[in-house]
Structure 1
Amino acid sequence: MSALMVSISGVRGIVGETLTPEVVLAYASAFAEYCGYGTVVVGRDSRVTGELVRQVVFAGLVSSGCKVIDLGICTTPGVQVMVKHLKADGGIIITASHNPVQWNALKFVGNKGFFLSKEDNTIFMPLAAKSGFKRVLWDEVKKIEAYPDAIRIYTQKLLKFSLINKLAIKKKKFKVVIDCVNGAGSVMCPGLLRALGCRVVELNCKPDGLFPHEPEPTPANLKQLCAAVKKHKAHVGFAVDPDADRLAIVSEKGVAIGEEYTLALCADYFLSRKKGPVVVNLSTSRMINDVCEKYGVKLTRTPVGEINVSTELVRQKGVFGGEGNGGAMAPEIHACRDACTGMELVLQYMAASGKSVSGLVASLPSYAIVKTKYDCSAVDMARAFDRFKNGFPGGAVDEQDGIRVDIGKSWVQLRKSNTEPVARIIAEAPTAAEAQQLTEQAKALLFG
């Protein structure tokens, strides 16, 4: 049996195995207390277990005395924005993001629309371990209020983004294939693209939670989208994960360019129009270093985890940020990862430059990145980290999140995942051979 994953990314597990109704009820009840028994916004992705988890979350919140605002199926960034918009005391997002269909999860959002920080979790998480929770009497039970306007409000906010010229995009009459993996993006992404004047071909945009392929939008999982882009002679293909906070891009040639290019392309356009501090995580491609150097702006790296990037982005009054898994952040909209923000910026870059996706990719420095993950249940990770730290003589070591070692234009990182029971190794170098060599060396150090 897999373990319940409890981390800065929330609580996730396999439904009926580790993420049981009892577990969900405990965490929902604890969050009610954390929020002072106030108003809590709830949204979910389209997973087949979403309705089950949602009803248990409602029971925990309402029986504790909270008012609930139910957004129904909504993207993760959409829920975050609505928590702030509705001036709620907190939010719960029911989504396991890129994890396979048997998983589900609870992500907890504070009253400013950001995930709980490490410090916040030191207060919240012990509440869930209690043996009893407050329960109100019948005459103190508050309403569950359906709120159907979340997608419309968030879409309008995106359309008012100052760096987006809707007319310029509309004039290009871009044909776009969008793959929403039958997730929450299905209720938002096609509509946004049409509002921008694109000709839209929908692929897997039925929000029934039946994922037609592995939901993580990596190149290996985007063969159907690549074929559709070529078939329809589209200008670009977009793929999002089930909660639409990550974006992957397919070029007009039907080639999945890799999620790392999402952030680099967005940053390249963004900084050409508005300069300022940029914040990304430690696992993001060094393409972002080159882009920031090009525009002479400060780049800061944080541990993996959206809240780590968001917190630093807000603290520095940064203009742009994100994570290398395809999550772009524009604080003008909200300092959270959002596939829709990424789609807008890529389309705007294409319109403003007159270049294709392939042309834009060719304008960026080229690196090869290899991402692997390994079952680490039998590994003494403390010893593995020690071996790793000392395994690359002369490299610059960063210990903010696992161990990252930079060697010239290359780097390699070993870290434990926040979302899966695995260890992740990421290696990047100027050539594929060099990146693969670093990966093999790192794997040997992991397993001793």
Structure 2
Amino acid sequence: MSILMVSISGIRGEIGSTLTPAVIEKYSLAFAEFIQGGKVVLGRDSRVSGPFMADIVKGCLVAAGCEVIDIGIVPTPTVQLEIEHHKANGGIALTASHNPIQWNGIKLMGGNGRFLSPENAQKVFDLADAGVQPLRSWDKLGRIVTDDQANHRHIQKVLALSYLDVEKIRKRRFKVVIDTVNGAGGMIMPDLLKELGCEVIAINQEPNGVFAHTPEPLPENLTQLSEKITATGADLGFAVDPDVDRLAIVDNNGRPIGEEYTLVIAVKLIFNKKMGRMVVNMSTSRASEDIARYHNCLFVRSKVGEINVAEKMLEIDAIIGGEGNGGVILPELHLGRDAPVAAALTLQALLEEGGTMADLKASLPAYEMVKQKVNLGNMNPDKVLEQIAQKYKNQPIDLLDGVKIDFDDTWVHLRKSNTEPIVRIISEAPLREEAEKLASRFMDEINSLK
């Protein structure tokens, strides 16, 4: 049965089931009350349900006295940048990220261009549950302004990054296949790559919201991209999710290198150029940590969730960070995951390495990650995690977000789900067989507690 997911990642549900017009209205009015009016940037991905959702959101915000700046179909990070550009009080991105076509969602952002902190998100949710309706009289209604230049501005800001030598990248003339899965990426990724002098072969570019394949950019969903790379002799391929905050890379042999390595490549590039601090979440590969330690740079982990990473980056003044799902955060531009940034940094790294994409991947610390989940039935997930933590109390252990246990060259991270009676198990080791064995071991240990 479908449920409405309400978390620090926003509100997500299935159209025609849990994400209804009434639900959209409820959270739109609550957000308007939270930001106390003013400018609100509104963008969306290409989902078929996007237009009707945008109409409801705009109507609610105008009724609450807000000025809505409608920037159309754009990446989620573009909405974040446009909040800063327009000096808005907040922003809303209508997207369900990597979820299937029947889903959509509402991502809420503050006037700082970042997602709402957990505390502020909860304030919005409480206002929504209270049924607030901050409606204005006829003479104090808001208005709608359209702006179709947001994607262009995003591209120009990426091209201006200090870590890029744009002219040298252009001279290299990389041949790149880009799969935008009929999402918002079709509006920005091919144009960015062309600006970087690439020969671009775009597949699934039309942003019609009818996704050509399962939209999460995992290896099993990238077969069409892999085949196109080998057929055309491309240097590499990129794939993004529908709202373009995650980037996956496929090498010149048509082999996906794994989403974890998008961030690893960016980290290696940045720390080769300057010393600094970095932040990743608890489930991100040790490969980034290895590179940071090699360069004697401070490496910090945060709770899972983009806003948690971003807040920690701000706190310690980090110069790079992100999550192992292909999400790269570069504060020089903004504190949010950004696939266009990740793609540009990858091309710069490939230029500097001088070899093929496969060569670049081979130069990085080698790890394999396995993800499993255990159905708990009637067991209390907090009790389960508590018992595991007690059993391994003599190992290096971190309880910041679930239970993470470090071994010599492996680790395992156990987290409970907020929406299902399950515990997620993420393990990593130098070899896949070792990672699978470690995950199975903890699955068995949890099952033995039943």
TM-score normalized by the length of structure 2? 0.96
- Structure 1 residues 69 and 357 mapped into 2: Cα distance closer, same or farther (>3 Å)? same
- Structure 1 residues 8 and 436 mapped into 2: Cα distance closer, same or farther (>3 Å)? same
Q: What amino acid is aligned across from residue 389 of structure 2 in structure 1?
A: K
Secondary structure class of the residue paired with 1:207: coil
Q: After the TM superposition, which residues 34-73 of structure 1 pair with which residues of structure 2 at under 5 Å, given as runs?
A: 34-73=34-73
CA deviations over 1:200-220 (Å, ceiling 9, x no partner): 000111100111111110111
CA distance in 2, matches of 1:446, 1:50: 41
Q: Does residue 270 of the first structure (1) align with residue 301 of the second (2)?
A: no
CA deviations over 1:314-346 (Å, ceiling 9, x no partner): 111111000010001110011110111110111
Q: Cα offset for 1:442?
A: 2.3
Secondary structure class of the residue paired with 1:292: helix
- Structure 1 residues 75 and 420 mapped into 2: Cα distance closer, same or farther (>3 Å)? farther
Q: Does residue 168 of the first structure (1) align with residue 165 of the second (2)?
A: no
Secondary structure class of the residue paired with 1:245: coil
2:329 is matched with 329
Q: Does residue 289 of the first structure (1) align with residue 289 of the second (2)?
A: yes
2:216 is matched with 216
Deviation larger for 290-299 or 397-406: 397-406
1:124 is matched with 124
Q: Cα offset for 1:378?
A: 5.3
CA deviations over 1:85-107 (Å, ceiling 9, x no partner): 11000001101101111111111
CA deviations over 1:59-105 (Å, ceiling 9, x no partner): 22111111100011010100001001110000011011011111111
Secondary structure class of the residue paired with 2:120: helix
CA distance in 1, matches of 2:390, 2:410: 16
- Structure 1 residues 208 and 391 mapped into 2: Cα distance closer, same or farther (>3 Å)? farther
CA distance in 1, matches of 2:164, 2:63: 44
CA deviations over 1:364-406 (Å, ceiling 9, x no partner): 1211111234566755322332243245464322111121111
Q: Tell me if the contact between 2:182 and 2:210 (Cα under 8 Å) persists in the aligned partners.
A: yes
CA distance in 1, matches of 2:194, 2:27: 39
CA distance in 2, matches of 1:339, 1:284: 17
Q: Tell me if the contact between 2:64 and 2:142 (Cα under 8 Å) persists in the aligned partners.
A: no
Q: Does residue 191 of the first structure (1) align with residue 191 of the second (2)?
A: yes
Q: Cα offset for 1:443?
A: 2.1
CA distance in 2, matches of 1:393, 1:334: 38
2:429 is matched with 429
Deviation larger for 132-141 or 309-318: 132-141
Q: Cα offset for 1:139?
A: 2.4
- Structure 1 residues 27 and 441 mapped into 2: Cα distance closer, same or farther (>3 Å)? same
CA distance in 2, matches of 1:221, 1:38: 41
TM-score normalized by the length of structure 1? 0.97
Q: Tell me if the contact between 1:267 and 1:291 (Cα under 8 Å) persists in the aligned partners.
A: yes
CA distance in 2, matches of 1:111, 1:420: 32
Q: Cα offset for 1:260?
A: 0.6
CA distance in 2, matches of 1:343, 1:158: 10
Q: Tell me if the contact between 2:27 and 2:124 (Cα under 8 Å) persists in the aligned partners.
A: no
Q: Tell me if the contact between 1:238 and 1:247 (Cα under 8 Å) persists in the aligned partners.
A: yes
CA distance in 2, matches of 1:220, 1:391: 36
CA distance in 2, matches of 1:6, 1:379: 23
2:345 is matched with 345
Q: What amino acid is aligned across from residue 83 of structure 2 in structure 1?
A: V
Deviation larger for 382-391 or 166-175: 382-391
1:372 is matched with 372
Q: Tell me if the contact between 1:4 and 1:12 (Cα under 8 Å) persists in the aligned partners.
A: yes
1:147 is matched with 147
CA distance in 1, matches of 2:421, 2:82: 31
CA distance in 2, matches of 1:343, 1:155: 11
1:415 is matched with 415
Secondary structure class of the residue paired with 1:227: helix
CA distance in 1, matches of 2:41, 2:124: 17
- Structure 1 residues 160 and 241 mapped into 2: Cα distance closer, same or farther (>3 Å)? same
Q: Does residue 227 of the first structure (1) align with residue 227 of the second (2)?
A: yes
CA distance in 2, matches of 1:249, 1:382: 36
Q: Cα offset for 1:148?
A: 0.5
Q: Cα offset for 1:8?
A: 0.9
Q: What amino acid is aligned across from residue 66 of structure 1 in structure 2?
A: C
Q: Cα offset for 1:411?
A: 0.7
Q: Does residue 9 of the first structure (1) align with residue 12 of the second (2)?
A: no
Q: Tell me if the contact between 2:29 and 2:132 (Cα under 8 Å) persists in the aligned partners.
A: no
Q: Tell me if the contact between 2:381 and 2:421 (Cα under 8 Å) persists in the aligned partners.
A: no
Deviation larger for 371-380 or 74-83: 371-380
Q: Cα offset for 1:414?
A: 1.6
2:98 is matched with 98
- Structure 1 residues 410 and 226 mapped into 2: Cα distance closer, same or farther (>3 Å)? same
Deviation larger for 21-30 or 120-129: 120-129
Q: Does residue 313 of the first structure (1) align with residue 335 of the second (2)?
A: no
Q: Cα offset for 1:52?
A: 1.8
Q: What amino acid is aligned across from residue 353 of structure 1 in structure 2?
A: E
Secondary structure class of the residue paired with 1:310: helix
CA deviations over 1:197-242 (Å, ceiling 9, x no partner): 0000001111001111111101111111111110110000000001
Q: What RMSD, in angstroms, separates the aligned Cα atoms of the two structures?
A: 1.6
Q: Tell me if the contact between 2:28 and 2:57 (Cα under 8 Å) persists in the aligned partners.
A: yes
Q: Cα offset for 1:48?
A: 1.0
CA deviations over 1:15-59 (Å, ceiling 9, x no partner): 221111111101000000111111111100011111121111112
- Structure 1 residues 140 and 377 mapped into 2: Cα distance closer, same or farther (>3 Å)? farther
CA distance in 2, matches of 1:374, 1:245: 28
CA distance in 1, matches of 2:265, 2:343: 11
CA distance in 2, matches of 1:288, 1:187: 30
1:134 is matched with 134
Q: Cα offset for 1:357?
A: 1.1
Deviation larger for 80-89 or 353-362: 353-362
CA distance in 1, matches of 2:378, 2:100: 23
1:201 is matched with 201
Aligned length: 448
Secondary structure class of the residue paired with 2:334: coil
Gaps of 5+ in 2: none
- Structure 1 residues 300 and 48 mapped into 2: Cα distance closer, same or farther (>3 Å)? same
- Structure 1 residues 198 and 359 mapped into 2: Cα distance closer, same or farther (>3 Å)? same
CA distance in 2, matches of 1:16, 1:48: 12
Deviation larger for 433-442 or 202-211: 433-442
2:177 is matched with 177
Secondary structure class of the residue paired with 2:130: coil
Q: Tell me if the contact between 2:177 and 2:229 (Cα under 8 Å) persists in the aligned partners.
A: yes
